Each structure stands twice: as C-alpha cells, then as structure tokens.
Structure 1
C-alpha cells in the first residue's frame, strides 16, 4: 500500500474515531441531562405531594374510639374572626392574643369537585395548647376553642395555636392555612361587595331601628357589624343564634362575591390587597386566586355545623360560669363524611 493510500485510510479511521468519540461524549451528556431532568421531575413530584399531602395517600382521623380514613384530594383553610379582648400590638410578656369569636373551616374537595364550610362554635370545649408569651409550652387543657387564640407570643402563633385546636377536635385533620381578621373589620369586608341583602331573623331594633325582625335589608357597613356581632341583647343571647345569623350573612355574601368575581376575575386579588393591613395569614395572594378559581367551578355543599349540648360551666377556671358547647361525636363524623368522605378503617 503506497503512502497516499495509507494517508487516506488513516484519515478515514481518524474520522471514524472522532465520530465515535463525539457520539460517546454526546451520549454521556444526554445521559447526564436525562438524570438531571429525572431528578428535577422527582423533586417536583415530591414538592407536589408535599403541597398536596392527600394525593394518592390514605389519611387517618382518630375521632373518639374510632379510626377513620379518606383518600380524596382535599384542602382545608381556617378563617378566624377575633374580638378586641387581647393586647396584640404588644410584644414579649405584654402580648396577649384576642379571643376567636368566629371560626369557619373552608373545605375544598378536588376529587369530588365540591366545597363546603364547617362553622365552629367559639364555645366548643376542646384541647387547647397553653403556649406562653415566649412561644413555649406543651401543656394541654380542655377549654373553649376561642381561647386558643389567646395563647402564643405573637399574632401568627395565636393563629397557629387555633389551627392546632381545630385540627385536634377533628381527629388531627390536616389544615393547609389560616386567614384571620378582627371582627371590627366586618364593615370593611361588607364594603368590598357594596353591602349584602338579608332577611332579619332576630329583633335587632335595639341595635338599629331598621333591623326589625322579618324585614329585608341591604346592610350598610355599620349595620353589617351589628347584625353579625350582636348577641347579649338579642333574643336568647346564645352564640348558636348569632351563628345562624352569621350563616345567613355568609351565604348572601359568598353569592354576591361570586357574581363580582365572574364579572371581574381580579376582584379577589383586589379584595385581598385591600385587607392586607387588617389580616394575619399564611396564605399568599396567588394561593387566594387559585382557591377562588377552584371554587368558581365547584359545587357548594353549603355551611355545616355540629350538633351538641350548650351549658354553663367553669372550664375557664376564673370562678365564673361561661358558655360551653360540647360537640356531638357522631355529628362531627357525619359532617366529615359529607365533605371529606371519611369511612371507618377496616
């Protein structure tokens, strides 16, 4: 073989080696890229499952002596309305949370494409963690649910402590977030939708002459405050009667808010921003928008409550009798069946 042919052959072999080497290198980097992508996908899946713990996972609730399970993809958010009994602007030892006057659990069942609410009686006797002003303490006491917000080192921990008590009451139910506002901000909330029309079910004429029993009134911001909060001088003065009025108002409010959202999808975000200075929450604006979008496409199961017994008692330990509500265990189970579709674990 002459030198010219040898050079040609060597050139071909060299070219083949370059192609093979390039292919090997390319395959190496493609494999690394695939591994990186797979790792990214696994991380995304992990994060998704962490954010949506119910997806494909069996959840358990211990209610009384029975263990219940559910597998639906469900999100729950606690809405808290506080009174002005505490000292929430103070810090350290001077901080005292307010009482949670109003408690509403929003339940979104994505599997069934449904949502509903559980209205909780503020006087419900349940386990409350006695967190001190340093944010410490694991002691539990059976107290009214409203007192859970009194304990903690700041507004956020007071809300978290309230979430914890509701979770324990419902068998250690997962609650995804909270949104808290002062009951004095009802007028501002009412203003967001331009007032709500309701039929007056109790005689509130002592609060406002226009709020006579049986009349239909589009509540002004000031009237909404009285309609929702009045208790002591209205009817039997019982919190259950006030809760009934609150459900009437909420049903009308949600209907009107939905109409405004359908007309203007930015309504919820605008409302969220308007309430920023008044609210304490761990739910951001994007999450609120996502929740609103889900609710607009779902079937509502309304506002549910627990049956139980109301009586006066001294659980609070101050020597004075206060209202106490003992929720019926079977009623709790029936409500959770309706929204979470729980069943006894075999």
Structure 2
C-alpha cells in the first residue's frame, strides 16, 4: 500500500476508534463559494450561556445536574476544495468549510457514546474576521462557514468549536478533531468495498442505484454516494446525512473486523496519525479515550429536528426547531436531580 493511501486510511480509522462509529461522512461537497454566501445579516449578540455553569439547572419545571463523567469531542470533516491554491491566505477566509460536524458525547459513567450530527446549513452565530485578521463581531451564517475564518488550521478549528458551542447553549467542548473529506475513497478501497442498501432513488446519478437495491461501493462510488445532494430527492442536506449514516453503519462492521484481527492497530494508528489531522488533543489523551470507550455502547446518530428555507440568493438555511437544542442536551448530557 503506498504512503498516501496509508495516510488517508489512518485519518479515517482514528476517528472510528474514538467514536466507536464509522465517521466516514467526513465529506459534504461544497457547492458554492464563501463569497457568494456572505450576504447575510450581522448579529453581534453572544449565545445563550445557560450551560456554562456545570452545577444544577432548571428546565421545564425539573432540576437537572450535568453528568459527572463526560468527554465531549467535536469531529469535523473539512472541504478545502479551491482554497489551498491561494497563497498567501486572502482575508483570513480560506480555511475551507466544515461540511461534516459531529459532536461525540462519551459518557464514561453509563458507558455510552452519544452522537449528534449537526447539519452544515444550520444557521448559527459565526465569528467574522476583517481583512487584517481582526475579529469584527458575529454574523448569522451557515455553521459550516465558521471554519473558513482564521490564519491557520488551528484558528479555523477554534472558530468552528466556538460556533458549535454557541449553537449548543454555551456547552463546553473538551476537544476537537478535524480531518479532510478526501479519506472516503481510499478508506472504501482499503476495506475492499462497502455494501450499502440504497435509501432513496439515485438513478439520476447511477442507473443501478435504485431505491432498495444493495450494492458494493468502490472508492469513487462511495464518494459520490455520500456527497451527492442536488440530484437526489428534495436536494436538501437531510437526505445526504441519511446516506452518510448508511455508509457509517456499513463501514463500522468492516473496521471492527480489522481491529479484531490486530489488537495493536489502535496504537499504531495514533502514532502515525499525529501529523495528518488538526486536533488540540495529545496522542496520550486520544489513546486514553480510545482505551476507555472502545467497548461502550454506541447509540444511534441523533439530528436536531427543524426546517429548511432558501434565502433570496438561493442558498439553503436550516433552523433547529424550538427548544430542540436544549432538549437534546438535557436528555443526553444531564440527569434529573
């Protein structure tokens, strides 16, 4: 196996180890440029900090306490297509978009892993930088754009974490892990293909991809399967997220098989993976989380209910429903006192 292929495989598998799930949806094709989408209203208000205090909180007439043994990790799949050619960086807005966002809540007390997938088009308060890299306030933008801002990958990640944290009522996030979406084709090929059942009619993409048909995806086919949006169904990101989940479930079986064949696989991956992703967690911290969480129950991927709209420029916006954010936090990360 050539070095490039090994590197891409490592990118994908380390996240699978941390999550206990196949986060192969680190893709999400960017179908418009940042500059085309930057015509949204400015809002300098800070987010609700209701969950900054980790003590007791009241909600819906009940008193809740945050679970004591939680680790929250934000995983991001970054699309840098068309951004790396510009040098030097232009206006601190070339970090690429976080087209896949997953919050992992590792509950060491109950030995469970909760997963919240955040739609890339979710409207959120995003920190905006001026042409000299200074923060100029926040704007309500699609959350995927938070990663565009910053002078380096670490800045890009921190601004993404900030946007997610604000969206989630000020919830503290313990660490982040950002990787490039290009892992999908190589990962699929290394696993000798991934079998999936087509959830929606995709014959516009491939005549063999009709609803209910089980196929084995190769590398490029897998990339198409998880990235295609506009020519499938309603064209929203919700249907693409469902296909990503289908792909995840199939990959996890293959990954677990590989891990069962080589118990030393995890430590080798962490050692080799250090320079292939952007994270604020040390190798030791990663190995500790892997070691503790690898036998935990991985719960199904959750998504916030809400509605899609289209702005006057034709861009999709997703708005979470009512108190759905707070409800998810209270139901998964807090317990009734």
**Under TM normalisation by the shorter chain, which class is it?**
0.7 to 0.9
Q: Distance in 1 between matches of 2:257 and 2:116?
A: 22
Q: Are the aligned partners of 1:86 and 1:150 in contact in 2 as well (CA < 8 Å)?
A: no
User: In the alignment, what sits opposite 2:235?
Assistant: 237
Q: Are the aligned partners of 1:78 and 1:177 in contact in 2 as well (CA < 8 Å)?
A: yes
Q: Distance in 2 between matches of 1:322 and 1:247?
A: 24
Deviations 1:224-281 (A, max 9, x none): 1111111111122110010111111112223332332233233334445665564222
Q: Distance in 2 between matches of 1:246 and 1:331?
A: 22
User: In the alignment, what sits opposite 1:323?
Assistant: 316
Q: Are the aligned partners of 1:198 and 1:249 in contact in 2 as well (CA < 8 Å)?
A: yes
Deviations 1:287-306 (A, max 9, x none): 33322222222122221110
Q: Distance in 1 between matches of 2:188 and 2:172?
A: 30
- The alignment status of 1:73 with 2:66, answered yes or no, reads no
SS across alignment from 1:139:
strand
TM-score (norm 2): 0.74
Residues 342, 137 of structure 1: CA spacing in aligned structure 2 closer, same or farther, 3 A cutoff? farther
Stretches of structure 1 lacking an aligned partner (at least 5 in a row)? 1-56, 315-319
The higher radius of gyration belongs to 1
Q: Distance in 2 between matches of 1:60 and 1:144?
A: 32
Once the two structures are overlaid, the 10-residue window that deviates more, 299-308 or 196-205, is 196-205
Deviations 1:103-143 (A, max 9, x none): 11111011211112100000111111113465431501111
Partner of residue 300 from structure 2, selected from 293, 299, 302: 302
SS across alignment from 1:93:
coil
RMSD: 2.9
Question: Which structure 2 residues correspond to residues 1-40 of structure 1 after superposition, within 5 A?
Answer: none
Q: Distance in 2 between matches of 1:176 and 1:86?
A: 31
Q: How many residues align?
A: 282
Residues 91, 278 of structure 1: CA spacing in aligned structure 2 closer, same or farther, 3 A cutoff? farther
User: In the alignment, what sits opposite 2:210?
Assistant: 212
Deviations 1:60-88 (A, max 9, x none): 78999x99641421111111112234524
Q: Distance in 2 between matches of 1:293 and 1:178?
A: 18
Residues 208, 323 of structure 1: CA spacing in aligned structure 2 closer, same or farther, 3 A cutoff? same
User: In the alignment, what sits opposite 2:334?
Assistant: 341
More helix by share: 1
- The alignment status of 1:102 with 2:100, answered yes or no, reads yes
User: In the alignment, what sits opposite 1:251?
Assistant: 249
Please list every run of at least 4 consecutive aligned residues from structure 1 whose deviation after the TM superposition is greater than 6 angstroms: 60-64
TM-score (norm 1): 0.72
Residues 212, 290 of structure 1: CA spacing in aligned structure 2 closer, same or farther, 3 A cutoff? farther
Q: Distance in 1 between matches of 2:165 and 2:63?
A: 15
What is the Cα deviation at residue 333 of structure 1? 2.6
SS across alignment from 2:260:
helix
User: In the alignment, what sits opposite 1:36?
Assistant: none
User: In the alignment, what sits opposite 2:290?
Assistant: 292
SS across alignment from 2:170:
coil
Q: Give the number of the structure with larger relative contact order, counting CA–CA contacts within 8 Å between residues 6 or more apart.
A: 2
Partner of residue 116 from structure 2, selected from 115, 118, 123: 118
Q: Are the aligned partners of 1:62 and 1:172 in contact in 2 as well (CA < 8 Å)?
A: no
Deviations 1:203-242 (A, max 9, x none): 3334344433211123211111111111111122110010
Residues 93, 238 of structure 1: CA spacing in aligned structure 2 closer, same or farther, 3 A cutoff? closer
User: In the alignment, what sits opposite 1:93?
Assistant: 90
Q: Distance in 2 between matches of 1:82 and 1:206?
A: 26
Q: Distance in 1 between matches of 2:269 and 2:275?
A: 12
